[in-house]
A and B are shown apart, each in its own frame.
Chain A
Amino acid sequence: MAQQVKVEEFAPAITHQRVRELQRQNRKENLGRAWYKFSRNPLSIIGGTTVSIILFLAIFAPFVAPYPEHAKPFTDFANASQPPSWQYPFGTDEIGRDILSRVIFGFRFSLSMGAVVLSIVVPVGVLLGLVAGYYNGTWVDTIIMRITDIFLAVPPLILALAIASVLEPDLFHSMIAVTLMWWPWYTRLVYGLASAQRNEFYVASAETTGASTPHILFGEILPNMVSPIFTKISLDMGWVIIIGSMLSFVGLGVQPPKPGLGTMVASGAKYLPDQWWIAMFPALGIVVVVLGFNLLGDGLRDMFAAEEA
């Protein structure tokens, strides 16, 4: 195995090819190992499958839902309040809309809420946490973390209400509210991790070699935090969806007649317990999507777990 490659004798051309071969081999092995760790727990696979299905449904909602037009303003009083049947698997609501189709479209709102919020919150929160952690003990750290503390101190629902009273209540504005209250959690997480990491010897090595600060933050420290960050992202999807549904439930998020899951639960709640399906199925939808992300998050945590030598 240990061949001595005399570089002066062999042209780099051969080695470039070898290099690509090795890269491919390595990638395959890493993926294999990652899958092995992920799949140890069957629940993770269930979580992953659930999330994939829901993602598919959300993306292809207009083609998959049996009655896509029911997600738009629509009434059919003749078929109102029908219990679940072959024609309407989840039943119809009080104005005749198919609940299954509306739940499928509801997933769209939920997932997009999660995606939009997290795609803003994660970069901002992680960046602030990295900088604060690396400059731990200096004024940079103090300023960033005190701002973070202030944001964490504001009760989220009050913040949402405040925003709603200034701007009209709708999905977009509730996303703003959730974004504003969510980023500090990432900063906190990354701050703790980065503060510990900066004392590692590979960081010292990069510093004494003369690496630039951006490289140290993103090239040395950040890769070591991938596991907790991704796990948190997955679990957060579940949380953001719940908070979004909560906001919709109290009337601040998705406005009727749009099919937000929380909104549907709110309007269906008054028909409990006789027409239970109107509120139950959207609620179940929330449960399933959140559970899916939680199980997926557990699997991701296992997958990123450090190898025991």
Chain B
Amino acid sequence: MSDDILTVKNLKKHFVIGQEGTINRKPITVKAIDGISFNVREGETLGLVGESGSGKSTVAYITVGMYRPTSGTITFRDQDLFADSKGRPLALKKEVQIVFQDPGSSLNPRRNIKQILELPLRIHQPDKDRLHEIIRLLDLVDLPPEYMHKYPQSLSGGEKQIVAVARALATNPSLIILDEPTSALDVSVQGKVINLLIRLQREFNLTYLFITHDLSLMRNVASRVAIMYLGKICEVAEAAEFFQNPQHPYTQMLLSSIPVVSEEEEAAKPEKIISSGEIPSPVNIPPGCSFHTRCPYGMDICKQIDPVMVETGTGHVVRCHLFEQPQEVLQPATSAAPSPT
């Protein structure tokens, strides 16, 4: 599809973290990502939601090039991001940038803002007047040029994160991955950073892959949302549809647990599904559907067979046995599809 900037096909990432057994040493594998496929359209903000162990950060790290996939492909504008085994070419590194979650550790404490912003400029635009560019970047994110000589420690959390955004912009990328960009910030600062991101998106026609666990934030930022659980995608839908008509039991559980501040929001939440038990560790993923240990609607089939993605509405896909019609697995569900309420 020509207006998909990023296409992920059947991506898997397994980490071998050790070995068990003394004689027949079996490797212990963490299946951080276990077969996911999704597209990101140019100019949109795709939200990726999930709790710990879901693999959402791993998706981010693979996309930006920190890890290589175990199998599967990621293509950026029809170019395989991992075609070159020696490492990603600079031209592609320039296009895909990332803003990390913790501004405290994503900015080198021993480098001042000028040096931090200078690095990408030096690599990708060696000819331009760097000082000029740095001032321009700071201006883009509403920071005064005097900040150049400050070190990250003297900046507030919000300002640090804004510098991280400026750094991501320095290479003129097309796709920016935002890994929990405001999770470490106070709510009164969050708005500034998010609104800045939205403004920059419009100004530079950027595409965002926005990762967060904060569903209320996601509601107001993403155009489409995908939710992950233990390395697999459970549901994908347009934002409004995702929140008004959540179909996967995990989505409903998550939505019903979030703390909100007003009565209207309380009413908008699905009925309370009390989560019981622990989140399984990605080392020991339960057989069948990985969510069946906590699912209130678990059926026998859930313990044995992993469900596949089924389309239940325009652009709305769910991976759950509740939505599978026998022998019609890959066809769009009709209005007779059961939805638990």
Contacts and interface: CB of A to CB of B under 8 A. Distances in A.
A–B interface present (Cβ within 8 A): yes
A5 B93 contact: no
Contacts of B97: 208-209
B248 interface: no
Interface stretch (B13-21, B100-108, B185-193, B231-239): B100-108
Best-surrounded residue of A5, A16, A215 (most CB of chain B within 10 A):
A5
Interface in A73-119: none
30 contacts: A1-B146, A4-B142, A4-B144, A5-B145, A6-B139, A12-B129, A12-B135, A15-B135, A15-B145, A16-B131, A19-B148, A22-B146, A25-B149, A201-B100, A201-B106, A202-B108, A202-B111, A204-B100, A208-B64, A209-B93, A209-B97, A209-B171, A210-B90, A210-B94, A210-B120, A211-B119, A220-B108, A220-B111, A223-B110, A223-B111
A52 interface: no
B243 to A, nearest CB: 31
A3 interface: yes
Contacts of B149: 19, 22-23, 25-26
Given A202-B105, A307-B153, A15 B131 contact: yes
B135 A5 contact: yes
Contacts, number: 97
A12 B131 contact: yes
Interface in B262-318: none
Given A7-B132, A7-B135, A309-B153, A202 B145 contact: no
Contact of B123 (A6, A202, A209): A209
Nearest to A222: B110
Contacts of B98: 205, 208
A223 B108 contact: yes
A226 B102 CA distance: 23
Interface string B235-267: 000000000000000000000000000000000
A41 interface: no
A220 B65 CA distance: 19
Contacts of A18: 145-146
Interface in B69-108: 90, 93-94, 96-98, 100, 102, 105-108
The 7 closest A-B pairs by CB, nearest first: A223-B110, A202-B108, A201-B106, A210-B93, A26-B149, A209-B120, A201-B105
B131 A202 contact: no
A306 B109 contact: yes
Contacts of A16: 131
B66 A204 contact: yes
Interface of A: 1-7, 12, 15-16, 18-19, 22-23, 25-26, 200-202, 204-211, 215, 219-220, 223-224, 226, 306-307, 309
A261 B135 CA distance: 58
Given A12-B129, A209-B120, A201 B135 contact: no
A305 to B, nearest CB: 12
A251 B108 CA distance: 49
A307 to B, nearest CB: 6
B90 to A, nearest CB: 5
Contacts of B108: 202, 220, 223-224
A26 B147 CA distance: 11
A3 B144 CA distance: 6
B124 interface: yes
Nearest to B146: A22
Contacts of A202: 105-108, 111
A201 B109 CA distance: 11
A38 B75 CA distance: 53
Contacts of B132: 7, 12
B12 interface: no
A206 B135 contact: no
B219 interface: no
A210 B100 contact: no
B9 interface: no
Contacts of A12: 129, 131-132, 135
Best-surrounded residue of A4, A209, A226 (most CB of chain B within 10 A):
A209
Interface string B114-149: 000001100110000101100110010011111011
A14 B97 CA distance: 32
B131 A210 contact: no
Nearest to A199: B105
B321 interface: no
Contact of A205 (B106, B124, B145): B106
A2 B192 CA distance: 15
Contacts of A219: 111, 119
Given A22-B148, A200-B105, A223-B110, A210 B123 contact: yes
A220 B66 CA distance: 17
Contacts of B213: none
B224 interface: no
B120 to A, nearest CB: 5
A2 B138 CA distance: 11
B139 A208 contact: no
Contacts of B112: 26
Nearest to A207: B66
B167 interface: yes
Nearest to A30: B151
B217 to A, nearest CB: 21
A202 B145 CA distance: 22
A226 B142 CA distance: 33
A291 B325 CA distance: 82
Contacts of B65: 207-208
A251 to B, nearest CB: 46
A5 B144 contact: yes
Contacts of A207: 65-66
Contacts of B136: 7
A293 to B, nearest CB: 25
